[in-house]
Chain A
């Protein structure tokens, strides 16, 4: 639930954060929590909260304090094991006024300090303000389900769930950080703490940041993905035992997410294995009506209706579908980017923005999704490609080894010349670097990096003068001891999962319409268990999510378990270049708009746009755009939209009156006059 924001004076700055400014901040993120607003203010700090009420609707208001009103919290998210933690804390003598998980955090922090965070099983971004010691503590969940941004400037610290709340303060400079865009055009996301905006930091997932009264700060990383360094033979469970254990952990994780809510929780159904299994377990956890939601596409190549309906029928859910067209995608894209606050290389978030609107309109505030299964249990092709390339690299001259790609992509076997030779050439690149850390992801990063050819000369030199951080330069010390799969999983989790899938395609698209996502596969215990499994339980030969398919037997229709994995995609470039595309596309990719932003070489960008328009004008329906051109159009357009909305503007939707349900203001008028 919720959106949080605040301002804290560090060091010598004395004037208290203004109420008007704090109100502007919470107004900027009101979509995250339109049910209630709250503010706390003292002479050094101001905290604001927009609430989406899901737990303890009557008394869970924020900001919330400890018994003596010295420790204050604003919190976005859920601590799913709060009931168990509360018992532990009561045994230690803590007394509670509410039934919320928020109050549990305050007491847990009093009892255990920073040691409380690893005890939480949940998804959170929070700020704790100790008004006695003038200490600010910020923390984020392990994997970064909930967002948190920080800005330090002129003796102050701003923090917020979304960057736009920080930009609500006009004194904060707004500028694109070339390093953040360079990373996005490599990894599909900027790498925390770098963001798209100069001076704005993203708090690292799984970390804590503490600001002390003297303005000093320190960061603590309490969690990173970790994999076994012991031989697979040492794993104590047989495949059957591990299957049973995983099933039990997933059921517990799903049950917690269904029952730890005082409102109904629904589920997404993509048509794939992960969300089907999640929905099945969710259905089992709670009596009554169970709402499910699916995206359908007018373009048949992306559509999965058959499998979605099969699952909905299996669990007898109240199923709703939304048909998405290219026109819909193009129309909502600017609003989508106002919520992602960063460029994207595919349009896939747009249908999810429309879907969460349907969820909200149907009266549901929280949904389960299958997000995380592919990263935890090796569902993606990139893992299988890495295994084949690894195997091939041991005999690079072998003609037989690369034939394994035909098992991965059956179409290769059907088209002897065309695709195969080209595809193999693509995967052959870097084969001699099999032992190096980025081996699994090098083909993707190399392809994506081609987008940088659109950078203007000035922008390129700005990147070169401050080279951005490389994900490979900050690996855990034991990375080199992990097997091929674990290394690839780690890289996938810290780049695409955290920075794109659960952010641009997850939290932001859900919260845009005030809907909370809950992800059983990202449960702390499920992640720990999956990461500890030997590789061959996850990827058996080339059989992906091997153990999960065993868990799903009898719970999910066989045709869903055994269907080839279909990545979730939506129509990309074609949505913006076909006849009848919205006028903003031409405006934002116009020579003058490109030159004003200064990021891209106007001639190159116009060249790509013209090429795609020409191709779209060709055959009516089935227009093949290359991967590079698709990423190019979507990447350029979304970057231009970020610039126009957040650098020229502040990214905040107009209107929105804020009436506080909770208002604690410890700065009296007299005190204020005393300082002036």
Chain B
């Protein structure tokens, strides 16, 4: 799974589950908590989605705002959790 792929999935999930609008504007670096798109319980919804979709497992210590606060941060963080791919495509950003 590539950074862009994760990014697209997260985009779709946020649009469908938090914005309820497929065409909503959502910047890759926009703070999800800061702009109010997702609240603190919503982040937990997002985390379960990531665990299921990207087949990753988060430790308690992973669950800090800095790892999940924008689509770019999420995608980059997921890359560090995935086993290294053949083409090393997790080494993004």
Contacts and interface: CB of A to CB of B under 8 A. Distances in A.
Given A419-B40, A426-B33, A628-B42, A454 B63 contact: no
A425 B39 contact: no
A611 interface: yes
B65 A422 contact: yes
A626 B45 contact: yes
Given A419-B40, A423-B40, A425-B34, A611 B17 contact: yes
Contact of A608 (B20, B38, B39, B44): B20
Contacts of A420: 64
A607 interface: yes
In which size bucket is the chain A interface?
20 to 34
Nearest to B15: A607
Contact of B62 (A417, A422, A423): A417
Contacts of A423: 40
Contact of A601 (B21, B31, B37): B21
A625 interface: yes
Contacts of A415: 60
Interface string A293-324: 00000000000000000000000000000000
A119 interface: no
A425 B61 contact: no
Interface in B66-80: 66, 68-69
Nearest to B19: A453
Given A447-B39, A603-B21, A417 B34 contact: no
A29 interface: no
Contacts, number: 80
A461 interface: no
Interface residues of B, number: 30
Contacts of B65: 421-422, 424-425
A418 interface: yes
A447 B35 CA distance: 9
A625 B60 contact: no
B56 interface: no
A557 B51 CA distance: 47
Interface string A450-466: 10011000000000000
Contacts of A607: 16, 20-21
A624 B40 CA distance: 12
Nearest to B37: A450
B64 A604 contact: no
B61 A417 contact: yes
Contacts of B39: 426, 447, 450, 626-628
Nearest to B16: A607
Contact of B21 (A426, A604, A625): A604
B60 A425 contact: no
A442 to B, nearest CB: 11
A604 B23 CA distance: 11
A421 B41 contact: no
B34 A429 contact: yes
A425 B40 CA distance: 9
Given A418-B44, A421-B65, A450 B20 contact: no
Contacts of A426: 33, 39-40
Interface in B9-43: 16-21, 24, 31, 33-34, 36-43
B36 A627 contact: no
A3 B18 CA distance: 43
B73 to A, nearest CB: 11
22 contacts: A417-B60, A417-B61, A418-B60, A419-B40, A421-B64, A422-B33, A422-B65, A423-B40, A424-B65, A426-B40, A450-B37, A453-B19, A453-B20, A453-B24, A601-B21, A604-B21, A605-B20, A611-B17, A626-B42, A627-B39, A628-B41, A628-B42
Given A422-B65, A624-B41, A626-B41, 13 more contacts: A416-B61, A418-B63, A420-B64, A423-B40, A447-B36, A449-B36, A450-B39, A453-B24, A605-B20, A607-B16, A607-B21, A625-B41, A628-B18
Interface of B: 16-21, 24, 31, 33-34, 36-45, 59-66, 68-69
